[in-house]
Amino acid sequence: MTQFKFNVAQLLRENIGTRRDYTFTEDQLRLDETLILHNIQGNVRFTRTTTGVFAQISTQGVVRLVCVRSLEEFDYAIELNINEEIHSVVDVFTGVSLSQPDEEDPFFLTENHMADIGEIIREYTLLELPLSPIAEAYRDRPVHYTVQSADSDESGEEGDIDARLQVLKAWAEQHIKNSDSNSS
């Protein structure tokens, strides 16, 4: 459970299609062992469905990531628009347990008819994060790599190169020559 809980018991007693709108702000939401979503704000609209509520969530926040180019931390802004159905586990009128929906990996209300949208926000935020985060300052910079072989001496003279890698060396030299001529 997270701090993003809304009691939808009264909405479940209403007709299908009835809506409730809420706004929310939170300082943080733990995404995993190392990542935290900060400065969270947004709104949610719950619409009564036959099996629970349909949540339309619009939220934004900031995640602190490490740039793969500079290894410096930077703030990565996240903006999400999520639509998910949250199913009831207990009938609001009778208290009888309800059967599970056919969909794969559904979200559920608690037995007390609380909609916890924090888990939904957490999962969608993790899906939205880049695999190789690059800080804004390094996004448009070309990347140049220099590889020093263990067989090379300090003067830059190379030892014997494996014949299988000759093609790669020729390609790299051509690529460097082309990029140097393009930058002139």
Measure the CA dihedral 14/15/21/26, to 10°: 60
pLDDT tens digits along 142-170: 766 666 666 555 544 555 667 777 788 88
pLDDT on residue 31: 94
- Find the mean pLDDT for residues 3-14: 91
Residues 76, 63: Cα–Cα separation, whole Å: 5
pLDDT on residue 95: 76
Core vs surface per residue 148-175: b (16+ CB within 10 A) or e: eeeeeeeeeeeeeeeeeeeeeeeeeeee
pLDDT tens digits along 63-105: 999 998 888 999 999 999 999 999 988 878 777 777 777 777 7
pLDDT on residue 16: 93
**Six token digits for residue 121:** 């926000």
The yes-or-no verdict on residue 4 having pLDDT over 90 is no
pLDDT on residue 106: 87
pLDDT on residue 111: 87
pLDDT tens digits along 14-50: 999 999 999 999 999 999 999 999 999 999 999 999 9
Residues 99, 64: Cα–Cα separation, whole Å: 40
As separate numbers, helices (DSSP H) first and strands (DSSP E) second, the chain gives 3, 7
pLDDT on residue 110: 87
pTM of the model: 0.72
pLDDT on residue 3: 78
